[in-house]
Structure 1
């Protein structure tokens, strides 16, 4: 059982795949319904069970359905995500061995509890699951190639906006949580510079709910006619990213998807710990953050006027984009993965 966030799943996927390979018996993996196709591709298995995310009475009904589906079927259940919903389903499984993190109000569901500490990187939190079953070798980083159907869907989404096989940059100006989002006017300025200084049209990506924000960013550009907005599913998005010259973004799900490909990435991290939540890929990623957050900034509550974000200037981001594009084309040198605090 896994976490429903794209980033969490991408980072935990090497652990999950090693868990699947460890057992001689068939292994089922339960994931959020939105991640089923990604899980099948990344984990190389068809044994993926979808779980629907619902709130209120619908959420209780879904947990009841899932609990009934797993009850008595498995001799071991490993809860990689160790969330509220998944722990309840684990308890319903009645499995002889139930492994999960000893989290606040959730450890009761497991009879093999692992410490819920804060390691240097969140990957190490997931890797405890391997140690619990006797696996001691660190799993390899996973990369991904989009299937042919996803590449066709991505090409169709871009048709009419950009010429066929024309290079482009991708910009994601949103994020799952508002306190992680760099100001719209700064995205406008950097996107303009990508068009003017590098000759690349810009493909803005996002969910339908993020379209309003994207239109605000485009409205602040002088080169908006060289941009397009595309909203596609996860696998076509991977196909779009694997062809891109660059992804410029906030720390977000699309960033973690791009890290599964060879796409160069420049990401604004803001309040998110770069050490804790950096992608597993070692090459071609630049992470920028402004001022360090004070201890009082926690749980989405900001007391520092978002200086962790606003401390990253337009020039900081545009310079990082120029270096990333130059490195990808062989015209610049530098460290393969960089993490920079730009605020003073």
Structure 2
């Protein structure tokens, strides 16, 4: 382990690495925001997977994004090597003073080790307890408490060698004025001119979803109260089919679907303008929490401690409070079973109305 980092350390160039899904990328923003607050003059860059770029591309604290395209491996060994070499060359050319590796992959460790940064921070994962991992990271942070920590708190723990505490960690989601304008045009075209509720009942994993019939009953109750509901989903055929089925079960005319029509920053602009977001354990739920839009999140067999919405203006309804749930680690993610089925419609309606009371 290297000697302690002096309090007066003032890095000019910082790289943060995280190679995960969309929601995971949003939950790195508290660490990015804390780095910006501590080092206001530093350049902060992020290395991430190409598909997750929309989560961070509008963040004002980030100078540039280094991209890994998962399709590189389809190009063949030599082409893949050229891409990886170009990435390492670009990282080294930035002359980072600090690299913070929040990932557990060997690839992220190799890039950290080859970065040339004098301060290379990573986690002391039990599964990576070997000389190579230690050589790549000269500051390693214990993961002993990770089981009790939210993902935001885990990420913030990596800043401990820099003397940055986790207290007050704040997530953020950003979008451009053009995104905001585009969303307003879409709402106007759909005749949504007043307050509205965003409902995103879909997830890439069906086991995280509530039944379509219950979602429709929720929508009917909200529209009966005079609310306008805007349905959203990813541009995925299974998710779009779910939205179509839910719409077919609704009698109200006060339901609009923008499913599959929005980029992630545009979805953020929509959620930011909403009175309430209702959804399941997904990236849009984390976006709502980061945007401080009131958020009602339905959870099933997910590790709540790690993935609950981060912030103050949120309410979680957990299926485990109504019926036994299997261990999150035992779930077959390809299953069609919907583990949220034990959640009663009446409780979700009551929680939504509690958020919406005028």
Same fold by TM-score greater than 0.5: yes
TM superposition shift of 1:25? 4.8
TM superposition shift of 1:237? 1.1
TM superposition shift of 1:299? 4.8
Aligned to 1:251: 281
Q: Is the 8 A contact 2:44 2:61 kept in 1?
A: no
Aligned to 2:101: 79
Structure 1 residues 234 and 93, CA gap change in structure 2 (3 angstroms) = same
Tell me the alpha carbon deviations over residues 235-273 of structure 1, each in whole angstroms, 9 at most, x when there is no partner. Answer: 211111111122111111111111122322111011123
The count of residues paired between Structure 1 and Structure 2 equals 323
2:124 to 102, 117, 124: 102
Aligned to 1:214: 243
- Whether 2:79 is the aligned partner of 1:70: answer no
- Whether 2:25 is the aligned partner of 1:9: answer yes
1:267 to 293, 297, 301: 297
Aligned to 2:178: 149
- Whether 2:282 is the aligned partner of 1:282: answer no
What is the Cα-based RMSD across aligned positions, in Å? 3.0
Aligned to 1:93: 115
Compute the TM-score of the two structures, normalised by the length of structure 1: 0.81
- Which shifted more, 134-143 or 266-275? 134-143
Separation in structure 2 between the aligned mates of residue 325 and residue 294 of structure 1, nearest angstrom: 30
1:236 to 266, 269, 273: 266
2:211 to 183, 188, 205: 183
1:201 to 221, 225, 228: 228
- Whether 2:73 is the aligned partner of 1:53: answer no
Separation in structure 2 between the aligned mates of residue 28 and residue 318 of structure 1, nearest angstrom: 42
Separation in structure 1 between the aligned mates of residue 180 and residue 61 of structure 2, nearest angstrom: 19
Compute the TM-score of the two structures, normalised by the length of structure 2: 0.78
Q: Give 5+ residue unaligned stretches, structure 2.
A: 1-16
Structure 1 residues 264 and 26, CA gap change in structure 2 (3 angstroms) = closer
